Amino acid sequence: MSINADPNPKSAAETAPARIKLLFLVGMPGVGKTYWGNEVAHELGLNFVDLDNFIAAGENASIPALFATYGEKGFREREQAQLKKLIKSLSTNTIVACGGGTPCYSNNMAIIKDAGTAIYLKADIPTLLDQLSRSSEARPLLKNRGNLGTYLASLLETRKVFYNQANHILQTKDISVATFAKIISNA
């Protein structure tokens, strides 16, 4: 007696549902996470979410208002809860622009990497200063900091241990949509 076996068996990868591809852009304030997230999502037909906007909508308050009300610690707790909520809610390929401090608190980088691919957008301090000087966005941690270049250098020194855990590190001067397309195809 013979067993009727499928003459063309499929591998587990072929029969498993396709995994949603999530790309998380991390890096310093002003590095261009929102810009590149929007640009790449538009060019490649992906969805885009700015985590700060998602947090503000979920908490019904602006990021500066959340910092003012709860302080940085309270904001970071809300940020992590909203990050987890966002990840659970996504059902299509999406690029997420994280806040500059998102991957640096609690186990957020592990959460990000478990859900998808982390990409650290890296720039030098003069580039960050130039881009921040052209931005109208309210950034609570950069408010009233005196010498902004010195503050950014110190902040980067503290955060780079987290940023460097990303799956990919891209120098902003070398970024193109094609760079992201290659990462996405291999994710």
Domain count for the chain, please give it: 1
Asked whether residue 6 is assigned to any structural domain, the reply reads no
Tell me the C-alpha distance between 179 and 176, whole Å: 5
CATH number of residue 87's parent domain: 3.40.50.300
Please, which residues have CB within 8 angstroms of residue 69's CB and are 6 or more apart in sequence?
61
Structural domain containing residue 99: 20-186
H helical segments located in the chain = 12-15, 33-44, 51-59, 63-89, 108-115, 125-133, 148-163, 177-186
Asked whether residue 2 is assigned to any structural domain, the reply reads no
Q: Residues 33-59: what's their mean pLDDT?
A: 95
pLDDT digits (tens, 9 = 90+) for 134-165: 776 656 667 766 788 898 999 999 999 999 99
Asked whether residue 31 is assigned to any structural domain, the reply reads yes
Asked whether residue 8 is assigned to any structural domain, the reply reads no
Asked whether residue 15 is assigned to any structural domain, the reply reads no
pTM: 0.86
